[in-house]
Structure 1
Amino acid sequence: MGPSSVLNSSKLDALPTDILIIILGYLNTAQSVAHLAATCKGLHQLISARGWRIFVKSCFNSLTLLSSNANEDWVNMARVLTAQARDWDRRAFVFHSLSLPETRRPDARRGHGAQSIPGNIIVDAHLRETGRFDEEFVVWGSGEDVIARIRRNDRKTIPSETWHMCKGSETGFIEGKGDTTSISIVKSHSFGEGDDLGVVVGRANGDLRLLSIGESNFGRTLMHFRPSPNSSIHQNEIRAIDVDSGSSVIAASTRESVWLYPVQTGNQAQSKNIPDSPYIDPITTLSLKDSQKSSSFDFIRSTKIFNKDTIAVALNRSFDPIRVLTITQTGLETSAVPRFLDEHPYIGSSPRTVRALLPVDVRSITGGGGNVLLSSWDDGTIRLQDLRTPSPIDRVYQDNFEVATPINALISYGLERFVAGSAYSHMLKVFDFRWTRGYYHTDSLPCSSNSPYPTPKPPTIVNEPEYYDNRPACDHVLGRLCRWHMLSRHDFYRPNCNIYLPFRNYASSPIYSLAKPSDTSATLYAGLSGLLMEFTLKSCVYTNSIPTTNQLSYVRQRGKVAVLETGDGAAILDISKCQRVPEIRRQLFSNDEYSSAVARKQHRLDEALQDRREFPAFETQTHFDTHQAANE
């Protein structure tokens, strides 16, 4: 065999397609995939057809991804998700507030019974695919009014957005008693491309309706959920609602009862209009106060549907603050969740409160399954547990700075991270789930024998990890990483953080609700008192103005935030190990010209949070000399 034959047989593109696909599954950066695609025509065709899909599904397997078969969409998704991962890790956030101007706010001094303080914003969001376009629906309740913003984009730009309002006063609701207390978009696959989405709205007076949020008939009542007048059970204040679009069921809770209602979607619901439609009676209802199997409680705080058979309920001040309801043919049956054995000793034995619940999908984990729940407790802990068994994946998270501050709202992004809203102040808390990741944005950056900088200063007394291998470059043959790449993956250098939101209009407000359109969306929405905050990852901020219609006089203002790093998020049993003087960084939005581009990229934090004194001395001095020579 001649030399040319040996060379040809060793070509990478000569390998069988099945082997190449296996190799593609091991590439952990988009840069590696792009470089491989640039080597030859054959590999470029394979990667265009299948490579980017493999990369996205391998590196971001815990996220719920958009359903697309177009190769171009998978390339774009890889670009978007890698940029978002970098933004999350580097705290590259941009915040805008959405609020009514001062002249539109209620004023009790006018003597018309108006509230002197703004209502709490309750928000939900959803991203719907319609062909090559996406529609982002954000719906929120502000007092007795329901407002929506609908953005339509082609996954690259936003060509338009429309605003709508359903004024509560025009449909018989008054301030206070008619305020929106819960809201949930019906995220159903049964909606066709021509159908309008619906939103279930619960109010303080017990009213529960399915409203249209379509362009043509926004705010129209599609279904009105209420027991018949001769019913012995009264539906008072709606505390929480959740919609299971798969089984077309709504779970609604009042102070002490849980109600199940059927919901019809699309044109079926549109055919039922008030006042001609009959009462929509509940499928079943259960008063937890009357249950003989569990301890007493004050009231229900949250209700979440896991599947067509299981509902979780969070209670205020109970020795069994989480109840599991099983849907049977005869109604609802209740049981308490097994108690944790590692109760924190500084809390005592008083009744406990669970404020927020969030089902977590763990099917991406080998052997994962079951009803896994994230719950926020009044002692400041956030607990992950399988409701059916003493699960081996149970874990307790805690803000290592505000150790005992409870959480009002939770939202998660697959098994990568979750965001919590403080129950006491205008603060978001970003937690890493601490499962093994499929993608680290630092893997695509240059090797170095330095440690990641700046060194985190967590509020807990912990030591910087020891690592004695000062290898300046990764050795992929031996499977050994350089010092910088190895430590960049360590939990110590990827701490959680608290984000202090800009809040100028009123006194400090808790976070009442959180919503995201999808796992792949770059925007998160937080409802405060009289204010909706729009949290967007920096790489996905639209720089061009967005054509809008009917803005309803809402004002959109950009604000700077402060970020405080809070450690790895593990529960703290001994609070004496907390040091209460952490470092707070404020966004500056100015580039430091005396540091190199490489140094700025390798800095753990976004440019808006960087301080040039933190860069390695040789990086700063080298760039300063180059800059000075260019000016001479």
Structure 2
Amino acid sequence: MMSSSQALDISRLDTLPTDILLIILGYLDTARSVAHLAAASKGLHQLISAEGWRIFVKSCFSSLTLPTSKSDENWAALARVLTSQSRDWDRRAFVFHSLSPPETRRPNARRSNAAQSIPGNIIVDAHLWRQGRFDEELVVWGSGEDVVARIRTNDRTRVVSESWHFYKGSESSFVAGKDDTTAISIMKSDFLGGKEDMGVVVGRANGDLRLLSIGESKSGQTLMQFRPPPSSSIHQHEIRAVDIHSDAGIMAASTRESVWLYSLKDHSPTHWNDVTEPSNTDPTVAISLRDSQQYSSFDFIRSMRMLDKQTIAVALNGSFDPIRVLDVTPTGVEVSTATRIPNERPYIGFNPRTVRALLPVDVRSIAGGGGNVLLSSWDDGTIRLQDLRSPSSVDRVYQDNFEISTPINALISHGLERFVAGSAYSQMLKVFDFRWARGYYHTDSLPCTSMSPYPTPRPPTMVNEPEYHDNRSLCDHVLGRLCRWHALSRHGFYRPNCNIYLPFRYYASSPIYALAKPSDVSPTIYAGLSGLLVEFTLKSGIHSSYVPDADALYTQQRGKVAILETGDGSAISDVTKCVRVPEIRRQSFSDAEYNNIWARRQHRLDEALQDPHEWQ
């Protein structure tokens, strides 16, 4: 017969088999729960130190592209980073800096003695990778005929070092205007073995396409040039976009009417240190979309992205079929169009449609997800998500519920949690929630209450605040019932999208021309405007105190932004229901201390956006 002490010992949590404990860990949805469990016993502490934080991160942030790490400390640190960043995104805890050259005029491309009053558009790309115990962040942007690169080393809490590299276009005989940078793409994955091996592909308005070294020893040196042979019937003029599939070693480039593929397999980083003269590389594929007679005409190619190593999506300006899909096969290139929305007119008024930006979306973390899923921005202000290989036309349509018809110039995503869009008409960023189920809500770690989340959003559309009849003040996890505050905090009504109005003025109000982020775990997104690069960083992220040297030609400025909440982001079918003007909140960074700390934590928005009169 079993004694009572034996029965008590068997019922202890830390005596359960390891496999059972690991399953339990997969159901913990807050970092606080994991930490409390680790404090229960020495055995649980050892298990969670070895496996718990890795399981927590992968189950709660499964849609993000996570770094590979074998270190237990790295997973615990990553859990702190990602939970803080999720809180910052939801509370709109943002910090903005601008990087701009102090000079206000640059030589004109046509008349060297005149001046060009309009600055070049900033085109930017960024990448982050792990180097030992440090993160290395590279951001590269084209500013007119020049190219600028910044390499930053950090340990996720502070910046350890920072170096700048400037490549003057004039030193390679490039002239402002006609030789401006129009496309930037950093070589990633296996092509980035270390600082000495870094490279960036730069495309220009004159059709020049080349790989530049970013390494210390060969900084700015041309390693490869990409151009068709003189006998080619298709000419490579005015590079519009560049995209690299690093795993396959393929680069795609587009001009106003053509798409080019170049192989990078024979040019690995091990050969770069031996480069004395740049090699000329011929394209493996060249296709002019003008030759596709079975499809409607178009003005020019606006954007191009590689979905995989053999599928390319192309966005067109002024076409009745503005998205073309190129499938590269052993026998040639097959051109097709994306499925149209049923009953949709392929024109606005008497004009064909335009797609401005494309963004491939990785949906493999969703059950049953796969295929080539694409996010595209259209000239009617909608942003459409669709699987190009499924018979359905569009899986979901998003729209700014305040500026319903403003088109989008650039797109960047943060896993499957949210995406950021850059306005084509003004210096404004728009943050959209994908509205898929999440694995982590920062509000779950806050105290229970029977109140509703506050302040109540005031969306521009005529929608009612959601009803929730269960006014319980405490969550019952046994019955699976949440308190009122925790249940409503997950509702889309209380997690609205937002527009961010940038305060920076360099020449005049500028559209957003490009967006880039180093990785899904990075706290920073970069936005390229006219003559200005904006650094958009989450509040809990790393903020550098480094200032470029006087000869760096770039100055840093912090700006306070205005934020307007814009509803759930669903497409609006009846514009008459979009009549209200939401409240605009302006950031106010103050050192004032308030006594009601609990109310500040429960507030939906960051302290910089709070009004003390809203606290309850």
- 1:558: which partner in 2? 558
For the pair 1:120 / 2:84, whether they are aligned, the reply is: no
Question: Which letter does structure 1 place at the counterpart of 2:567?
Answer: G
- 1:574: which partner in 2? 574
- 1:625: which partner in 2? none
Alpha-carbon distance between aligned partners in 2 of 1:312 and 1:381, rounded to the nearest angstrom: 18
Question: Which letter does structure 1 place at the counterpart of 2:596?
Answer: S
Equivalent residues of 1:297, 1:318 under 8 A apart: yes
Greater shift, 336-345 or 281-290, is seen at 336-345
Equivalent residues of 1:498, 1:565 under 8 A apart: yes
Greater shift, 574-583 or 47-56, is seen at 574-583
Deviation of the 1:583 alpha carbon: 0.7
**Is there any run of 5+ residues in structure 2 with no aligned partner, and where?**
none
- 1:613: which partner in 2? 613
- 2:418: which partner in 1? 417
Alpha-carbon distance between aligned partners in 1 of 2:294 and 2:387, rounded to the nearest angstrom: 21
Alpha-carbon distance between aligned partners in 1 of 2:426 and 2:405, rounded to the nearest angstrom: 13
- 2:12: which partner in 1? 11
Greater shift, 108-117 or 77-86, is seen at 108-117
Question: Which letter does structure 2 place at the counterpart of 1:91?
Answer: R
Query: What SS does the aligned partner of 1:159 have?
Result: strand
Alpha-carbon distance between aligned partners in 1 of 2:560 and 2:263, rounded to the nearest angstrom: 44
Equivalent residues of 1:159, 1:546 under 8 A apart: no
Deviation of the 1:5 alpha carbon: 2.3
Deviation of the 1:575 alpha carbon: 0.9
Alpha-carbon distance between aligned partners in 1 of 2:468 and 2:581, rounded to the nearest angstrom: 27
- 2:174: which partner in 1? 173
Question: Which letter does structure 2 place at the counterpart of 1:491?
Answer: G
Query: What SS does the aligned partner of 1:367 have?
Result: coil
- 1:326: which partner in 2? 327
Alpha-carbon distance between aligned partners in 2 of 1:569 and 1:81, rounded to the nearest angstrom: 24
Deviation of the 1:546 alpha carbon: 3.5
- 2:156: which partner in 1? 155
- Please list the CA deviations of residues 343-386 of structure 1 after superposition, one character each: whole Å capped at 9, or x if unmatched: 38994563100000000000000110000000000000000000
Equivalent residues of 2:547, 2:556 under 8 A apart: no
Q: Relative to structure 1, is the Cα distance of residues 474 and 129 closer, same or farther in structure 2, using a 3 angstrom cutoff?
A: same
Equivalent residues of 1:223, 1:269 under 8 A apart: no
Match runs of 1:436-515 below 5 Å: 436-515=437-516
Q: Relative to structure 1, is the Cα distance of residues 551 and 615 closer, same or farther in structure 2, using a 3 angstrom cutoff?
A: farther
For the pair 1:359 / 2:360, whether they are aligned, the reply is: yes
Equivalent residues of 1:223, 1:272 under 8 A apart: no
- Please list the CA deviations of residues 290-346 of structure 1 after superposition, one character each: whole Å capped at 9, or x if unmatched: 112211000000110111110000000101000000111233221111111263899
Deviation of the 1:151 alpha carbon: 0.3
Question: Which letter does structure 1 place at the counterpart of 2:585?
Answer: R
Deviation of the 1:111 alpha carbon: 5.7
Aligned residues: 612
Question: Which letter does structure 2 place at the counterpart of 1:20?
Answer: L
Match runs of 1:121-270 below 5 Å: 121-193=122-194, 195-263=196-264, 264-270=267-273
Deviation of the 1:105 alpha carbon: 3.7
Deviation of the 1:391 alpha carbon: 4.5
- Please list the CA deviations of residues 362-419 of structure 1 after superposition, one character each: whole Å capped at 9, or x if unmatched: 0000110000000000000000000011359810000000000000000001100000
Equivalent residues of 1:512, 1:527 under 8 A apart: yes
Alpha-carbon distance between aligned partners in 2 of 1:519 and 1:201, rounded to the nearest angstrom: 24
Alpha-carbon distance between aligned partners in 1 of 2:209 and 2:390, rounded to the nearest angstrom: 35
- Please list the CA deviations of residues 83-137 of structure 1 after superposition, one character each: whole Å capped at 9, or x if unmatched: 0000000000000000011x46426699624422110000000012222222100
Query: What SS does the aligned partner of 1:289 have?
Result: helix
Q: Relative to structure 1, is the Cα distance of residues 492 and 194 closer, same or farther in structure 2, using a 3 angstrom cutoff?
A: closer
Question: Which letter does structure 1 place at the counterpart of 2:556?
Answer: R
Deviation of the 1:595 alpha carbon: 5.1
Equivalent residues of 2:107, 2:176 under 8 A apart: no
Q: Relative to structure 1, is the Cα distance of residues 297 and 584 closer, same or farther in structure 2, using a 3 angstrom cutoff?
A: same
Alpha-carbon distance between aligned partners in 1 of 2:412 and 2:577, rounded to the nearest angstrom: 29
Deviation of the 1:590 alpha carbon: 2.2
Equivalent residues of 1:191, 1:265 under 8 A apart: no
Alpha-carbon distance between aligned partners in 1 of 2:343 and 2:443, rounded to the nearest angstrom: 36
- Please list the CA deviations of residues 511-544 of structure 1 after superposition, one character each: whole Å capped at 9, or x if unmatched: 00000000110000000000000000001143x7
Question: Which letter does structure 2 place at the counterpart of 1:558?
Answer: R
Deviation of the 1:234 alpha carbon: 1.4
Deviation of the 1:221 alpha carbon: 0.4
Query: What SS does the aligned partner of 2:563 have?
Result: strand
Equivalent residues of 2:159, 2:542 under 8 A apart: no
- 1:539: which partner in 2? 540
Equivalent residues of 1:188, 1:265 under 8 A apart: no
| TM-score, length-scaled by structure 1 | 0.94
**Is there any run of 5+ residues in structure 1 with no aligned partner, and where?**
617-632
Question: Which letter does structure 1 place at the counterpart of 2:300?
Answer: F
Alpha-carbon distance between aligned partners in 2 of 1:494 and 1:373, rounded to the nearest angstrom: 24
Match runs of 1:241-320 below 5 Å: 241-263=242-264, 264-274=267-277, 277=279, 279-320=280-321
Deviation of the 1:267 alpha carbon: 2.8
- Please list the CA deviations of residues 13-64 of structure 1 after superposition, one character each: whole Å capped at 9, or x if unmatched: 0111011000000000000000000111000000000000000000000000
| TM-score, length-scaled by structure 2 | 0.96
Query: What SS does the aligned partner of 2:435 have?
Result: coil
Greater shift, 214-223 or 137-146, is seen at 214-223
Query: What SS does the aligned partner of 1:31 have?
Result: helix
Q: Relative to structure 1, is the Cα distance of residues 400 and 211 closer, same or farther in structure 2, using a 3 angstrom cutoff?
A: same
Question: Which letter does structure 2 place at the counterpart of 1:532?
Answer: L
- 2:74: which partner in 1? 73
Identity between Structure 1 and Structure 2 (%): 71
Deviation of the 1:191 alpha carbon: 3.4
Alpha-carbon distance between aligned partners in 2 of 1:404 and 1:390, rounded to the nearest angstrom: 27
- Please list the CA deviations of residues 229-260 of structure 1 after superposition, one character each: whole Å capped at 9, or x if unmatched: 23222111111111111111111111111111
Alpha-carbon distance between aligned partners in 2 of 1:172 and 1:260, rounded to the nearest angstrom: 26
Alpha-carbon distance between aligned partners in 2 of 1:357 and 1:33, rounded to the nearest angstrom: 39
Greater shift, 220-229 or 361-370, is seen at 220-229
